[in-house]
Chain A
Amino acid sequence: MADGSRCSHIEGCELYPRFSLRGALRIWQDRYCNHPTHHQKCERFVRSNAGQPVPATLLPNGEHIAT
């Protein structure tokens, strides 16, 4: 709210730290988490605000990590 520059859900996000593991994965942080407006399009953010389940495998674009 006061800090509109990045996603306010980073603190509790299961995925954000994984995106720091390898350089290439930071593209998620650039395009979603740390982006001033696009983080609001993150599927995890959207579902969380709608009170829907947010599985740990759900990616910002709505896909799942296929394990």
Chain B
Amino acid sequence: MSATPRRPLAAHPRAIHLRYAVYGLVFGFGLSRIGFGDFAEVHAMFVFDDLRLFLAFAGGVALTMVGFVALARMSAMPRRHLHPGSVLGGVLFGAGWAITGACPSIVLVQLGGGHVSALATLAGVLAGVAAYAPVHRRWLPWQLDSCSV
């Protein structure tokens, strides 16, 4: 091997930072332009006043499915395993989403959009994530889904 091996840009150390910076920027921009960062829009979806956001989400799921099916057999992709936390965690998250208008990505979009109060939500999210692992180890009997975070 030569002293200075040439590598493709994609494999360069820290290139992953650049790539994820782009994903974050594009995803954050899109979420904002879709209106997911707007509490009134999110609430309108949840009380069925305006189904635009719901259709955007459901349509996104459907089109993603088309994309994954077109790429290869779905069976080649790993599975997610059902456990009690899938339901209970969903209930807790759903309640939090209705109250704050935020999911983990949206709170950052709200913050970037100038909503200083989203700092309060973000503090709650960070505390909630930090609190989960110790609580799970101590009290919850089922296995966590993944080896690496």
Contacts and interface: CB of A to CB of B under 8 A. Distances in A.
Nearest to B80: A11
Interface string B131-149: 0010011000001111111
Q: B interface, by DSSP: helix, strand, loop or mixed? A: loop
A11 B147 CA distance: 9
Interface of A: 1-3, 8-14, 16, 44-45, 47-49, 51, 54, 56
Contact of A11 (B83, B133, B145, B149): B145
A48 B144 contact: yes
Contact of B147 (A1, A2, A3, A12): A12
Question: How big is chain B's contact interface, by range?
Answer: 10 to 19
B148 A14 contact: yes
A48 B144 CA distance: 8
Contacts of A3: 79, 81
Nearest to B137: A51
A9 B148 CA distance: 9
Interface in B76-115: 78-83
22 contacts: A2-B81, A2-B82, A3-B79, A8-B79, A8-B81, A9-B147, A11-B79, A11-B80, A11-B145, A11-B146, A12-B146, A12-B147, A13-B146, A13-B148, A14-B148, A16-B78, A44-B148, A48-B144, A49-B143, A51-B133, A51-B137, A54-B148
Nearest to A12: B146
The 6 closest A-B pairs by CB, nearest first: A12-B146, A11-B78, A9-B147, A51-B137, A48-B147, A10-B78
A11 to B, nearest CB: 4
